[in-house]
Amino acid sequence: MANATDKNVTCVVDADCEGTRLCYTGFDWLEEESACLCDTWHGWTGENCDEYGVGSIYHLVSTGITLVLGIFAFGFALYTLIKIKQQGKFERNSSVVTLILCLITSTTFLLWRLAKLAVVVTPDRAGEELATDNGIKNRKNHPISLFVEKPLIGITIALAVGAILNISIVWIDTSARISKMKKGGRIRTFNTFRKITLAAEVLWVLACIIVFPIAASYLFFVGSLFLLIIAVSFLYGRSKIVGLLTSLKGSGESGYDTLIRQMNKTTVGVLFGAAVLLGGGGAYSIISIQDWRSACEEGKICSAMATNELISVGLIITLITCIWFLYQVSVGNASTKRSKSSSKLIKGATNDSLTMQNHTAVDAASFSNPSI
């Protein structure tokens, strides 16, 4: 079949279309049986498909917003690590490991968003590579999208879930340190939970390695199980440590109250972000399995675009929430503790019992304690 030069020429596969145009065939929104159109996912338009349409502007704006949030997450994590180093608290424990994991995740997240921007602003390179898409062979692909953006998506999601799961391990380690449990049934229960969580992290990474390269659209169906594990992990870890802190704290405001509030806020933020991630990822997977081209009508912002972007939004929400908690239990609480101590010295207050209690709660959750 001769190469098609415009949307009025019929086609069967992408190779039938000239330049960067793609073959759209058998979709309800098409006026013709088939047509060679500009890439409706990226929203390019014009005679040579090198102009920005509504979809392109949407991608530039949404990606730009998440890129700014990614820069904030990276800077926040790096700043926290630097402060920990300056305070001489940089030791090998679950908190430090989790923060480093958050820093690496924010780095890959930034690279992912930059790669997406690079794709959108280089329409002339679309179609340089042929690859299998949704079981359909030899579909035109943008080389940056195929070899850079898509691998970074898989890596970022794998790392992010590991970082999120690790927060619950930080909570369990904190509860063990606070109660100074070195033996007995409770610490064995906590250690079992810790091992199960770590095993879930390993299984998730393996699932990403195996499933994502073969069928990325199915990853979120597998991921829904791990997001359920995250929910259970967070709720279990929170219930244990909050119960422990509540039983230990005295009357009035204390370091335990502060830690409980921080954990409650972290739980809400992470579960909300995970819900956005699961909702967007699940909806996009369903659309993608049916073929995203069927949902992306020419000249419009399609449902596939919107649900796909929710993946990055949910992910960055959970990531920033985790970094915020790790900052609070290290730099934030330490600063608050010093400020309160100075205020007490000025006022001549000498409540040694309460001061010791506050320090125990803050220090147990801080980076100055090694993991069990």
CA dihedral 110, 116, 121, 123 (to 10 degrees): 160
Q: What is the pLDDT of residues 13-60, one digit of tens each?
A: 998 999 999 999 988 888 888 999 999 999 999 999 999 999 999 999
- Give pLDDT, residue 138: 81
- The pair of structure tokens assigned to 45 is 């338009």
For the whole model, what pTM was predicted? Answer: 0.82
DSSP string, 339-367: HHHHHHHHHT---HHHHHHHHHHHHHTST
Q: What is the pLDDT of residues 301-330, one digit of tens each?
A: 998 899 999 999 999 999 999 999 999 888
DSSP string, 8-70: TS--SSGGGB-TT-EEEES-TT-SSSEEEE--TTTTEESTTS-EE-HHHHHHHHHHHHHHHHH
- Give pLDDT, residue 253: 46
- Give pLDDT, residue 62: 97
Q: How do 51-52 and 44-45 pair as beta strands? A: antiparallel
Question: Cβ(139)–Cβ(133) under 8 Å?
Answer: yes
Give the CA count within 13 Å in the CB-facing half-sphere of 300: 10
Give the separation between CA 12 and CA 29, rounded to whole angstroms: 17
Q: Phi/psi zone of residue 326: left (φ > 0), alpha (ψ -120 to 50 degrees), beta?
A: alpha
Give the separation between CA 270 and CA 187, rounded to whole angstroms: 26
| Residue 47 φ then ψ, to 5° | -60, -40
In which residue ranges of the chain is pLDDT below 70?
1-9, 134-135, 175-190, 211-223, 226-227, 230, 234, 237, 245, 248-255, 333-372
Question: How many Å from the N-terminal Cα to the C-terminal Cα in the chain?
Answer: 68
Exposed/middle/buried for residue 305 (C-beta within 10 Å: 0-12, 13-18, 19+):
buried
DSSP string, 300-326: S--HHHHHHHHHHHHHHHHHHHHHHHH
Give the separation between CA 14 and CA 22, rounded to whole angstroms: 5
Question: Cβ(109)–Cβ(156) under 8 Å?
Answer: yes
For 7, the 3-state DSSP assignment is: coil
Give the separation between CA 84 and CA 367, rounded to whole angstroms: 7
